[in-house]
Amino acid sequence: MKSIILFSFLFVLMLYGCGNKAEYLTQQEIDIEKEKVKNVILDFNKASDERDFGKMIEYLSDEVIFFGTDSSEVFKTFAEYKKAIDQQWKEYEKIIYGDLQDFTIFIDPQGNLATIFYGTNATVTKQGQTSYLYLRVSRVLEKKNNKWLIQGGLTGIVRNYNQLNSNTAN
């Protein structure tokens, strides 16, 4: 009986030892993946600038969750997110995102999950009036089929440069 238990334990230990070991990325591989993540964000923002939701969804995961500036802006399904984007495009004639500023990208050692934090200027036109906003954004991405996809994130308006400029002029 003891030999059966010992044999079973050794067999399980052997199987565990022969199993797939986690493969960790080198620093060079991590740097390459960080550049891919940055490019996904830039391409996603460009598709948004162009109001091309079909292109935007190429960069989205199957399940998404997004948070906006205020508590009513929580989108937990793809349909809710699409509805919010459609509403945004109806309300604003144009939204153009600037370059990524102050960005940081974290990638897990196996290269499956990434988080990016960044700031960006946004030029927004509504009813013929242009405003210049500064946004803080975070995005969480997952790698599926060797492609980075946005799972969700948070966007907040930090300041309105129109207000900032009018306040400093006085």
On the 0-12 / 13-18 / 19+ scale of CB atoms within 10 A, 91 is exposed
pTM here? 0.81
Tokens of 88: 């945004």
User: What is the model's pLDDT at position 70?
Assistant: 80
Distance CA 122, CA 81 (A): 19
Task: Enter the DSSP assignment of 52.
Answer: -
> Which of 104, 75, 99, 101 has the alpha carbon at shortest distance from 88?
75
Please count the residues of the chain: 170
pLDDT digits (tens, 9 = 90+) for 91-142: 999 999 999 999 999 999 999 999 999 999 999 999 999 999 999 999 999 9
Asked whether 121 and 133 are in contact (CB, 8 A), the reply is yes
Distance CA 4, CA 2 (A): 5
* Domains within the chain, CATH numbers bracketed: 25-169 (3.10.450.50)
Which pLDDT score, from 0 to 100, does residue 10 have?
A: 43
Measuring CA to CA, how many Å separate 28 from each of 50, 97, 111, 117, 147?
33, 29, 12, 21, 18
% residues pLDDT > 70 (the chain): 81
pLDDT, tens digit, for every residue of 1-30? 555 554 444 444 454 555 566 799 999 999
